[in-house]
A = this chain, B = another copy of it.
Amino acid sequence: MLAQTELERALPAGLPPILLATAATPSVAALRLPFEGLGPEGYLVRTVTLNGRPTLLIAGNGDKGALYGAFALIRHLATTPFADTLSLSSAPRVKLRVLNHWDNLDGSIERGYAGQSLWDWWTLPDFRDPRYTDYARANASIGINGTVLNNVNAKADSLTAPYIAKAAALADVFRPWGIKVYLSVRFSAPIELGGLKTADPRDPAVAAWWKAKADEIYRAIPDFGGFLVKANSEGQPGPRDYGASHADGANMLAAAVKPHDGIVMWRAFVYAETDPEDRAKQAYTEFKPLDGKFADNVLVQVKNGAIDFQPREPFHPLFGAMPRTPLMIEFQITKEYLDFATHLAYLGPLFTEVLDAKTGQKRGETVADVVDGQAEGHKLSGMAGVANIGRDRDWSGSTFNQANWYAFGRLAWDPDLSAEAIARAWAAETFGNDRQVVDTVTAMMMGSREAVVDYTGALGLAHLMATGHHYGPGPWVADLARPEWNPVYYHRADAAGIGFDRTTSGSNAVGQYAGPVARAFAKPETTPESMLLWFHHLPWDRRMADGRTLWEDLVGHYDRGVAYVGRMRQQWDSLKGKVDAEIWQKTATYLAIQEREARWWRDASLAYWMSVNHRPLPAGVRPPEHDLAWYKAQHFPYAPGQAH
């Protein structure tokens, strides 16, 4: 049994005998333990007396529960001494806890910063790299139970027989660890592979093609999870090409996998170059009217915010607005907009900030309540994380990036966990349970994402990065083909003020939010300062809560972000000799890179804002190192992770 092996690898000596069992094991059944609420994946770990002897029981309603229980025990004992009255119990609140790999068939990864794709498509299905097993173990240990193998910008080839066989080999490796395989599909595959003239979802030949394709996949992978679809978004084909709706497209695919208990995850990330509406509004506008129109094995997958994985965004207005549809939330674990692998940014606080946000739709309802689907009685629920995993030795490009993979898994299992508790557990499991190490690492992590917000653009600014690769500052960019690709579209800075007016006097994106939330966002006074310029265009000399002007406050945020990174370097220095030397050195080097680049972000941004608002820096503030022209001249043609 896999759980047994994991326990033997990880547990200290001196524990009572361990019994891995299920609720149906006769000796366990006699104990009358509370298995009812655990479902197929929940676990119960408890010290019990069996045959007169103290025994550590790890059990669930089935093997999956016992496996998750074993990992829970290992995690618990990594941070807490064994106690005779140990009692742990948990069941996942979210059913589909899924990684999205934006991995291409040529081995590159869109927005990947940890080397090539872990999947060596070239040697699959023959060679099953032992790392595939390690990947599955790592995921199972944090509760992840599904993985979408290929990029949402999908090639039709992933649905050909050779690639189905490759996916099946991975599914074979992952299955014992409770992990299902899913595929991203290209909506026009019936044309490209099937030779049909259309991919119109209402065409019976198209539906038949997908049905046959699903049948073919399920013959190779009997427990195949289903399809993830990016349609009519950023150039991808979709049902709108034929005048059909997203629901038409999703339901047609859902019918194909339905006989096999498969599901469809349909992304709501759409915005059209022909649509002059505020990009932040378009997904809601397109999908809200479709509520109730999706088949019961479809989930609509909604990004955490309405733009695109910025260091901070307000929660997406669709959460709570489609009560008749199970909405998955999609987070990005890979740090596309947070300067990639070298910047230490713990995303736990980003994830929990969104999950904990009140939707305003129902009294007390949070985004997490929508995502777990329990209020509406949805049988499906899901959380997706765009993976930060590659073939590099440290899996994620840096040791600290592993914490974001870890935090995603833990929160998908239990969205009520605190980001800090997760950070502490990760630190202890990663570096050992030395108090100074855990305290210091946790302290570094907890403010690190806010530091990125501060040095890249605080107060609700967003999408200020350079073009294409999204690395480094580019708030001045104004020459891209589509208006909503340009940073100037987002910040709208001029001599008088800065910010995107999304109130009734502007795009009225606030109108997509419900009741009290909409009312709060409608006025600067009641909008959290952290999101102020997301919703409002305001004068540079507006007074902020602390009495400073907006401009002074913004400058202060840049300096605070840079200073935080400097502090992290000092904190990390204090751990030299207390963590693995190789990990210490690499992390120290990366923090030095981060501090330099944080300064660059700050300096470039200030130089630009000053060119727009013609204001001096507040007294005592360090001027940018270079002039604006210098920052504009920086180019990085070989930045990693670019789409191609």
Contacts and interface: CB of A to CB of B under 8 A. Distances in A.
Contacts of A121: 638
A640 interface: yes
Nearest 4 A/B pairs, CB to CB: A105-B638, A106-B638, A127-B589, A126-B593
Interface of A: 104-108, 115-116, 121-123, 126-128, 130, 157, 340, 342, 391-393, 582, 586, 589-590, 592-593, 637-640, 642
Copies in the complex: 2
6 contacts: A105-B638, A116-B391, A126-B592, A130-B582, A157-B637, A393-B393
Nearest to A157: B637
Given A116-B115, A391-B392, A122 B638 contact: yes
Given A115-B116, A391-B115, A639 B122 contact: yes
Contacts of A642: 106
Nearest to A123: B342
Main secondary structure of the interface of A (DSSP, over half): loop
B116 A589 contact: no
Contacts of A122: 340, 342, 638-640
Contacts of A582: 130
A104 B642 CA distance: 15
A128 B590 CA distance: 11
A393 B593 CA distance: 26
Contacts of A128: 589
A264 B393 CA distance: 36
A127 B588 CA distance: 9
A586 B391 contact: no
A130 B128 CA distance: 27
Contact of A586 (B104, B105, B127): B127
Contacts of A638: 104-107, 121-122, 157
Contacts of A157: 637-638
Nearest to A107: B640
Contacts of A108: 108
A599 to B, nearest CB: 14
A163 B592 CA distance: 19
Nearest to A586: B127
A311 to B, nearest CB: 20
Contacts of A593: 123, 126-127
Contacts of A115: 115-116, 391
A593 B116 CA distance: 22
A395 B590 CA distance: 24
Nearest to A106: B638
A250 B104 CA distance: 41
A123 to B, nearest CB: 6
Contacts of A107: 638, 640
Contacts of A127: 586, 589-590, 593
Nearest to A637: B157
A128 B392 CA distance: 15
A228 B342 CA distance: 32
Nearest to A115: B116
Contacts of A590: 123, 126-127
Q: Which of A115, A128, A582, A638 has the most C-beta atoms of chain B within 10 angstroms of its own C-beta? A: A638
Contacts of A393: 393
A456 B515 CA distance: 72
A612 to B, nearest CB: 29
